[in-house]
Amino acid sequence: MTFNNINIVLLTLTFLVPGYLIQSTFSLMSIRRGETKELLALRFLTFSTLNLALCYPWILYAYQNDYISNHPFLTIRYFLLINFLIPVILGFAIGIVDKFQLIKRLLGAVKLTALHSTPTAWDYKFHEASEAGGCWVLVTLKDGSIIGGYFGRRSLASSTSAERDLYLEDAYMVVGNVWTKLVNTDGVLITKGEIGVLNFFTEGDIRTSGEGEGEGEGEGEGEGEGEGEGEGEGEGEGEGEGEGEGEGEGEGEGEGEGT
């Protein structure tokens, strides 16, 4: 059997590209350990074989009924469907199975224990926080100082084991159980060499203050000043009217006596 350039391209599209697409789509939904090139190539081949097995009835039908020569344009569409669209759908399906740990639950039902798919506790906790919509993080640095921050949609915890840096979108000054948001900042970046201990809190665990209290005080002062000014103007007008009436009465009395 001889291989020409077209055969090599077809074999590559059949046994590597679908596996690559499945792995890439699956990786978007799950955090995996770093793998060697050899292991990745084997994974691509395994996923491509799975994709080929699922699509084999269509391929067999096309070859047996001379479908390729009779319908060349439809064959191209089916080729793109089998090698590009279906692998993406398979990747999402595998990602959902991993996300909800369906295989782990199935093994647990028969009293078997499976290793957790998330490589580190760092990845697990920050991935869980992202799925929950965010959390507050109290970072104790190696020099003993403390930094508080909010880990939300715009925050990032590095998934690379060699660079465990952390970006928190909001920074807080922490005194006891009160977290005061620092204004005029765009978050805080903490490098891996500075992080000592991380404590995680939900919304009910802490009490935040800062911007909200400042606005309330400003409104109260404004209302007080407005009331004071109104009272002062009212008193001034009353005194002015009283003086005017008194002068008018005095002038009237003087004219009557002279006549």
Rounded to two decimals, the pTM is 0.63
- Candidates 123, 181, 120, 121; CA nearest to 147 is 181
What is the C-alpha separation between 249 and 246, in angstroms, rounded?
Answer: 5
Q: Give, as one character, the DSSP assignment of residue 225.
A: H
User: What residues have CB less than 8 Å from 208, skipping those under 6 apart?
Assistant: 172, 178, 179, 180, 181
Is 114 within 8 Å of 104 (Cβ atoms)?
yes
What would the pLDDT profile of 91-116 be if each residue is shown by its tens digit? 999 999 988 888 888 888 888 877 77
Q: For 170, list phi and psi in degrees, rounded to 5.
A: -130, 140
What is the C-alpha separation between 165 and 92, in angstroms, rounded?
Answer: 29
Average pLDDT over the chain, rounded to an integer: 79
Name the more confident of 246 and 162.
Answer: 162
What would the pLDDT profile of 191-219 be if each residue is shown by its tens digit? 989 999 999 998 888 888 865 343 333 43
What is the C-alpha separation between 17 and 86, in angstroms, rounded?
Answer: 12
Is 89 within 8 Å of 55 (Cβ atoms)?
no
Architecture of domain 129-209: Roll (2.30)
Residue 83 has pLDDT above 60, yes or no: yes
Q: For 70, list phi and psi in degrees, rounded to 5.
A: -80, -30
- Provide DSSP, 131-167: HHT-EEEEEEETTS-EEEEEE-TT-EE---TT---EE
The domain spans of the chain are: 5-107, 129-209
Predicted confidence band of residue 3 (pLDDT cuts 50, 70, 90): low
